[in-house]
Amino acid sequence: MNAYIISGILIIALGTGVMLYGQHVKSKVDNAKVQNKVDDVLKRIDEVRGGEKDKTSAGKITQIEQEFQTWAAGFLKDRERKKVEIARTHLDSVDVQLKVSNELGPIFEYVLKTIDSLTKAYNAESGETIKVNFPLLPPNLYSEEARNYGGKVIFPNKAIWHIQFLASRPPKSDDLPTMYITFEQEEDKRSRSDSYCSISISSKEKTFWIRLIGPDIPMAKGVEGTYPLDSYSDSLKTIMRSLFEAQLLRD
């Protein structure tokens, strides 16, 4: 092909490229101008909306303040009456707590007496010494005294049973006080344990149930389950004896 023709083609191609590039640059400039205008409009819209929000918020705050002023005036007017209502509610709650405690107390007391009797019998026959310290059972199982009950059994192998009672306050018909026997090792190294036996009671269903939870529980078979409440003495005697034996068999 003639060199002049080739040169002409190259010149035409170069010119076309320059023209296209120029159009591309111009297009980018135009697009940038349009985008700037759009951004400016959107910014103004946001400013207007922000002003509307401020006005709306200010109105709502004023409304809330007015409502609180009305509430404060009504509260001060009825303050003494409300105090009486709260006092009456508290007394009603205490009455329920004491009533439930009177129903459940003998059952939990039986558990403590059973453990104490097992300890005395074993100590007498073995010559070993298992120490038991059971304070009097609090009359109100919903109280802090019950929550901090310091019942304790110390075995020769340094195993320890800690006993306490937990209950929801205010009292709930489906969440009665529960007795917990927590299993731990070596009192001087005591830390929070996640191994325990719980004894829960349902007056409505006339049953109680036993749960064993955690890695450090005495491995007693046939303990967990639900039992009839009317024969709790026989069931609890067997359950506590099984746990007691399992604890003594551990190294």
Q: Are residues 226 and 143 part of one domain?
A: yes
Give whole-number Cα distances, 212 to 68, 142, 172, 191, 215, in Å. Answer: 51, 23, 24, 19, 10
96 domain residue, yes or no = no
* pLDDT for res 193: 63
Q: Are residues 120 and 241 part of one domain?
A: yes
Q: Are residues 59 and 182 part of one domain?
A: no
Residue 35 neighbours by CB under 8 Å, 6+ apart? none
Q: Are residues 120 and 5 part of one domain?
A: no
**Domain range for 33:** 1-77
Confidence of residue 201 (pLDDT cuts 50, 70, 90): very high
Q: How far apart are the first and last CA of the chain?
A: 105
88 domain residue, yes or no = no
Domain final residue, candidates 37, 62, 77: 77
- Beta-carbon count within 10 A of 197 CB: 25
Q: How many domains would you assign to the chain?
A: 2
Global confidence as pTM: 0.64
Percent of the chain with pLDDT over 90: 40
Structure confidence by residue, pLDDT tens digits, 18-45:
444 444 444 444 455 445 554 554 554 4
φ, ψ (nearest 5 deg) of residue 109: -65, -35
Structure confidence by residue, pLDDT tens digits, 61-89:
777 777 777 777 777 777 777 666 666 65
Percent of the chain with pLDDT over 70: 67
83 domain residue, yes or no = no
Instruction: Please say whether the beta carbons of 211 and 225 come within 8 A.
Output: no
Q: Are residues 21 and 130 part of one domain?
A: no
Q: Which has the minimum average pLDDT: 6-10, 34-38, 147-151, 152-156?
A: 6-10
For residue 101, pLDDT over 80 is answered with yes
C-alpha closest to that of 169 among 103, 89, 244: 89
91 domain residue, yes or no = no
225 domain residue, yes or no = yes
For residue 53, pLDDT over 90 is answered with no
Structure confidence by residue, pLDDT tens digits, 154-181:
998 888 999 999 988 776 767 799 999 9
* pLDDT for res 50: 56
Q: Are residues 134 and 30 part of one domain?
A: no
87 domain residue, yes or no = no
Please list the residues that pair with 185 across neighbouring strands.
Answer: 159
Domain final residue, candidates 77, 96, 118: 77
Q: Are residues 144 and 63 part of one domain?
A: no
Whole-number Å distance between alpha carbons of 142 and 166: 7
Q: Are residues 126 and 235 part of one domain?
A: yes
85 domain residue, yes or no = no
50 domain residue, yes or no = yes
Residue 46 neighbours by CB under 8 Å, 6+ apart? none
Confidence of residue 106 (pLDDT cuts 50, 70, 90): very high
